[in-house]
A = this chain, B = another copy of it.
Amino acid sequence: MRILIVNPNTTASMTSKAATAARAVAEPHTEILARTSKSGPVSIEGHYDGAIALPGLLAEIRDGEAAGADAAVIACFDDTGLEAARALARMPVVGLCESAVATAAMVAQRFTVVTTLERSRVLIENLTRHYGMAGRAKVRAADIPVLELEDKSSNALAKLRSEIELALHQDGAEAIVLGCAGMADLARMLQADYGVPVIDGVSAAVKQAEALVSQGLSTSKRGSYAAPLSKSYSGLVSALALPPG
């Protein structure tokens, strides 16, 4: 089984971290194919970055499927482009936020997502509502720029811990969801420290992707995710030659 991990920002060290997290939970027979977007911002922080990342992301989805991927993971906690990628692909495509909250809901009744910046807090709160978790999930921002997570000397971890502690003591959180792909390497340590489940979105999504493939499920092509209609494209995006055929 080949699982494609697409990092929709252009920072290769984040792709690498996601791939490592993915391989740590993947089955022995699963091959992790990690791709970094070739077009877009160096990090995704808020609605604008998420939008501008889409053509690059969709090109990797298309190319990855053509190269034989059986399922794809979009490695950004904002689940940017998830609906469009499902329309484009036949293979299953899963998002980090979607996978992480579905996972958290199986080990806890109430949980808190801790994300990076305030500008992403409401965005993720809206996502958790869309996924049906309005009454179960709270969202907190730890005031950490995404790329600060790549810098070991930053105090990002201290900020993250501080917000996790507030979640446990003020929100009544029974589990914690790490709300950024760049936090994938921290889940096990934090889980050990706090004694509650700590869910990393990359790991959760890889397992969901494997689960869908194992069950022989692919994205429904009836209704919302019907394949894009054949039509003309102009300008920059025409260079992407999307969709195929």
Contact = CB atoms under 8 A, between A and B. Distances in A.
Contacts of A232: 10, 41-42
Contacts of A48: 58, 84, 87-88, 228, 243
Given A216-B191, A220-B196, A94 B119 contact: no
Interface in A105-125: 105-110, 118-119, 121-123
A172 B122 contact: yes
Most chain B beta carbons < 10 A, residue from A118, A134, A214: A214
B81 A217 contact: no
A238 interface: yes
B223 A110 contact: yes
A33 to B, nearest CB: 19
Contacts of A129: 135
Interface of A: 10, 25, 27-29, 37-43, 45-56, 58, 81, 83-84, 86-88, 92, 94, 98-99, 102-103, 105-110, 118-119, 121-123, 126, 129-136, 145, 168, 172-175, 188, 191, 195-197, 199-200, 203-204, 207-208, 210-212, 214-226, 228-229, 231-240, 242-243
